[in-house]
Amino acid sequence: MKKYIKVPAELVSGDCWANSLKLDGCSVIESCIHSMEAQGTMFLEEHLLLFVLEGRATLYYGKQTYVVNKNEMILLKKATSIRYEKEGNPDNDNIYDSLMFCIKDDLLKEFLTMSNVKVTRPEEEIKNSVSPMSSCLVAFAHSLKPYFDNPESINEGLLRLKIMELLYDVSECSKNIFRQILQLRQPARADLRQVVEQHYATPVSLPQLAYLSGRSLSSFKRDFVSIYNTSPAQWIREQRLEKAKEMILETTFSVTDICYSLGFENSTHFSRIFKDRFGKSPSLFR
């Protein structure tokens, strides 16, 4: 398995270990491995709702650590980089079993438009937290299992109804997580400096940074220049190069892995601008 993966793109491409159900607006990804431990880093391209059905997942996001045990769940925002460690249950053949739901904004909008769920929208940002799954959510998760046996035959309309059922069940099971879901539609305006300095060393795009800060792209660029006196693209490139230098000297990751983990999309281009900045190619610098 790759050390650094983009979710859901690289999990539904057929190149990774995960089985998946794909729906316009949502990817449902099944993960079931027979191994005591697995670890890596994933960059979330969409919002991720994680159910752990067996074993334990430990997630590291910035300075925060979340431990998700059997029949627990957590919601994570898109455009974030999450380091994970997965442990199988030693009392059950070392099985780690989970479901991951990558939910796009359009699907949330559709659900909120059609549903009669009444939950007070949060006025302040609600922090991530681990919540227990209700018996209804556990039963729902297991009801999806047969779908993975032959995913091509699953009717898209049926899968869409199942995702709507999921959101209804979450709204009944955990008001806190459902308020987080509502918050994803209109993220709270956050401190721009904190957002940028927390995420620059991930493959995050400028529109995604603007989203995380609760601003439009034009407002984000304007506020950024007023704080840093340079453009976002220039500042982020310089910071990523400094981080790349640090990782080349202090880790055993390959130059290619470092390149892509920091958001550079072309290793040849990365090597060239690294040499322009530090006088040597990444390999010679190491």
Number of helices and strands (H, E) in the chain? Answer: 11, 11
Q: How far apart are the first and last CA of the chain?
A: 25
pLDDT digits (tens, 9 = 90+) for 80-96: 888 899 999 999 999 99
What pLDDT does residue 160 have? 87
- Per residue in 258-277, pLDDT (tens digit) is 998 898 888 899 999 999 99
Average pLDDT value for residue range 89-107 = 90
With contact defined as beta carbons under 8 Å apart, do 177 and 103 qualify? no
Q: Is the pLDDT of residue 29 over 60?
A: yes
Q: Is the pLDDT confidence value at 167 over 80? A: yes
Q: What is the pTM of this model?
A: 0.75
Kindly report, residue by residue over 8-28, the tens digit of the pLDDT. 877 766 555 568 888 877 888
Report how far residue 43's alpha carbon sits from residue 141's, in angstroms, rounded to the nearest whole number: 24
Condensed to tens digits (0 to 9), the pLDDT of residues 139-158 reads: 999 999 999 988 888 888 88
Residue 47's Cα: distance from chain center in Å? 6
- Lowest-pLDDT range, 55-59, 76-80, 85-89, 224-228? 76-80
| Average pLDDT score over residue span 177-190 | 74
Establish whether the linkage from the previous residue to 8 is cis, with ω within 30° of 0: yes
**CB of 236 closer than 8 Å to CB of 200:** yes
CA 42/CA 242 separation, integer angstroms: 22
Query: Residue 14 is encoded by which pair of tokens?
Result: 């057929």
